[in-house]
Every structure is written in structure tokens, then in C-alpha cells.
Chain A
């Protein structure tokens, strides 16, 4: 059975299919076959690989620029005794 995210139809926005109780419940096999039947031709084209969009590894503070390139590690400020660094 397909259910739909969001149930609000609004002007100028994407159509959101409302969950229609009159639709027949589809089994997984039927869902898969319907998908393959509809998009089977797309499988002919060499597909793009699975792409990660949101992961803990790629979620980080949004700085406006990267660090100075090829910046070697250098000693801590001489007056920084007792302070932490990371």
C-alpha cells in the first residue's frame, strides 16, 4: 500500500497525492513490478550510484571558507600555557 507524505494540496506547489482509501492495497511484489514496468527502461541507462545526502560524517559547521591550504601544523602560541587546543 502506498501512503503519501503530506496531505495538503496548495496552489503552485507539487501535487501531493492524498491517501485514497479506495485504492487497492498493493503487495510488495506488485509495487516492485509496477515500478519496474514503469521505469524499467531507465534501468537500461547506466545509472548514477547510490548517493548519500545526509550522514553524520558530512554534517558539520558551515564555515564560509576552508582552512588555509597546505597550512602546516605550527607550535601553539607561547602565552597559551594551560589552554586546550583541538
Chain B
């Protein structure tokens, strides 16, 4: 299905049509909207200069909706022609220590602090709790690096068995139990590392380099992507990250050398590929989910992925209580349009690292046009991997 850019009279709006759906970029708001066919029709009518009465009357000829119903849709689209800007900027989503970290000199490392590097960001972590210090050194040995200056200084303070976490003097977690500390630290390292990079687009999901090409697995928490990425990585493939797909303007994919978080439901399933799971420490997220960490054998080097074959797959795990035909390829794998892909990426979780304009949206759309995009449903990792093999 082709995606076509439709010139508009409005200088603030850019419209793309893909099948019956529309994609609208609103420059003053720096926002992207998905439009159903009716809204596209109204948008074109308003842009052409038709009055409200005439626009509704014309569309009413083909619609069974009432005048009032059509008017409500008309008004929704009409509001898009407002040049009001957003009160917020994409930069408002940056963590507060970033605002200073990008402009101040490096921080000297305190004595006995643990130091490590993730992507191009350097961290020191210190604590007044010996257990936390031991946990950190053991778990993060793979990214440990001897440093005298860092970009971020994390501190873990314990008081009355409650833990308080600071990053460059900003309190970012409080009253934690000891088992909750490490996941919060690792999340912070991950987020600061990608936010400090030159990323344009960041999506929640895993990214893996395989023999066939680059596999991107965007999806919401609980979709099975971490378990699937751990399995695929265990087969000799190289991990960029199990949580973050961060792309810069040249579509270099960022590598974050951090361990993979495996939720309790997958411990037994993955214990064959990761025997260390049997004795690994159990941690807890703030929402109560238990997890353990494993390290992949290999990490990929941050690189541009545009010269590779790229397969973007949104995995949807369905449990055994649902009917599922493992042999039905047509039902288990659905090709995604550009607009459906953007909607899925949005729903999975995203962060934009730059101020948006239509050129950057064109950049993203062109990237998506050049890759293979699917949604797959599966009940087991074996089914997922079989489907992926066919998709390659």
C-alpha cells in the first residue's frame, strides 16, 4: 500500500494518505495525528475553503450519520487548523539531571564509588549500604570501567531500612525496599544513557542483530519481547538493548550494555539457555513484579542499520486459553502499514529527542518504508521463532 503526501493550502499542516487513513502533522503543536476517512474528507474540505454547512452537506450525501454527528467530527477536524502551539516541548521529557549534564563539566568520582559506562555516558554509583555495593559490583561487572570523572553521579542512601536514590543530587526514588533498588538504578542508567545520546526517535522494545539482519521488537510491557529477545540473543545473536530502540538522525541504533530483565514467568523457560537464572538474585519492580537479570553473550556495536535488512515485529503473546492455529501463517503474522506501525510504536511507548518538523517526520516515514513491518501472535517462543524465520 502506498503512502502519498497531499499538499495542503494550510502551511501549518502536512497530510499523508495511506489507503483510507490519513496521517497529519501539525507543525505548531509538533504533533502527529491519525485520521479516519471521514476526518480526512473534512480536512480536505476545510483546507479547500468550504464552509461548515457545505462541507457537512457534501459528506452527508454519502453518510448515514446525522447532521449533528457529522458536525461533531467536523469540529474536531476544524480544531486542527488552529495554530496554537503546545505548552510543552519534547525536551520537557528529559530527566532533570540532563539539563545540567549537557552543559557542565564532568563530575569527579568519589573514593570507592563503582564506575561504569553505558553507551557514551559515564556513571559513578556510591552507597552507604554494603549489600547494595556488593550487588552492583557483581551485577554490573560487565559494564564496569575505571573512571576518574563521570557525567552522572548516582547515590543510594539507606535510612531505617528504606532506600533513597539520587542522581546528580536529584532524588528520583524514595522509600524503596532493598530488592527494588537495583531495577531502579538500571532503569536510570538506561534512560540517562539514551537521553544523553543524539537520538531522534526512541521506542520501547528490543533490538537484536542477527545473521539475517536487524530485528526490532517494539511492544508494551508484558508483550513477551524481553523473553523473546533473551532467547534469540542466546542463539548467538547480538543485542543492542532489550528495552530501548534509540535511533539518531542517520538511524544509528544505540547499544546499551546492560543486563536483560527477565520476569518471573519466564525464569523456568529460559533456565536452559541461561542456567545462571537458577541462582540469580530476585529483584522487584515498584509495581511488584519479580525479576532476575541475565547478561547476553554478545552485544552489537552501535551502527547505522539502514544498510541492513531490517525486520520490525510487534510481538503479541497470547496464552493457551485462547484458540490459536500455529500453522496459519496468514493469521499469525500481519503486515503493518506505515500508519499502523506508527500507531503501534506510539502505543508501545516512545520518546522523541528533538523538536519535530515535517522533515524529521519524512525521515521517519522513509525509514519505515524501507523496512519490513509485521505484527505476530504466538503462544510459545518456538512458534514466534518459526514465524520470524518465515518473515526473514
Contacts and interface: CB of A to CB of B under 8 A. Distances in A.
Do A and B originate from a single complex? yes
B285 A32 contact: no
A56 B48 contact: no
Interface stretch (B116-124, B138-146, B171-179, B319-327): B171-179
Nearest to A14: B1
Contact of A53 (B63, B157, B342): B342
Interface string A1-32: 11111101010111111000000000011011
Given A6-B366, A54-B352, A36 B171 contact: no
Contact of A76 (B17, B174, B286, B356): B174
The size bracket of the interface on B is 35 or more
Interface string A46-84: 111111111111111111111111010010111110011
B58 A80 contact: no
Given A36-B59, A42-B20, A76 B352 contact: no
Contacts, number: 227
Interface in B29-71: 29-41, 44-45, 47-48, 58-59, 62-65, 69
B287 interface: yes
Centre residue among B6, B157, B371 by max chain A CB count within 10 A: B6
Contacts of B29: 55
B202 A62 contact: yes
B204 A62 contact: yes
A67 B23 CA distance: 33
A83 B156 CA distance: 13
A65 B40 CA distance: 36
Interface string B176-199: 000000010001000100010000
Specify the main secondary structure of chain B where it touches its partner.
mixed
Contact of B286 (A12, A29, A56, A66): A66
Given A5-B5, A53-B346, A84 B369 contact: no
Specify the main secondary structure of chain A where it touches its partner.
loop
Contact of B365 (A6, A63, A74, A77): A6
Contacts of A84: 96, 169-171
B28 to A, nearest CB: 12
A84 to B, nearest CB: 5
A66 B96 CA distance: 18
Given A59-B93, A59-B350, A64-B261, A77 B157 contact: yes
A65 B285 CA distance: 7
Interface of A: 1-6, 8, 10, 12-17, 28-29, 31-32, 35-36, 38-44, 46-69, 71, 74, 76-80, 83-86
Given A43-B59, A63-B187, A84-B170, 20 more contacts: A5-B365, A5-B369, A13-B370, A14-B337, A28-B8, A28-B44, A32-B41, A32-B45, A35-B40, A46-B65, A50-B39, A51-B33, A54-B32, A54-B346, A55-B86, A64-B243, A65-B286, A76-B171, A83-B170, A86-B171
25 contacts: A2-B6, A5-B365, A14-B338, A15-B2, A17-B2, A31-B6, A42-B38, A46-B69, A49-B39, A49-B76, A52-B31, A53-B346, A56-B90, A61-B351, A63-B191, A64-B187, A65-B289, A67-B286, A67-B287, A76-B174, A77-B171, A77-B174, A80-B164, A86-B170, A86-B171
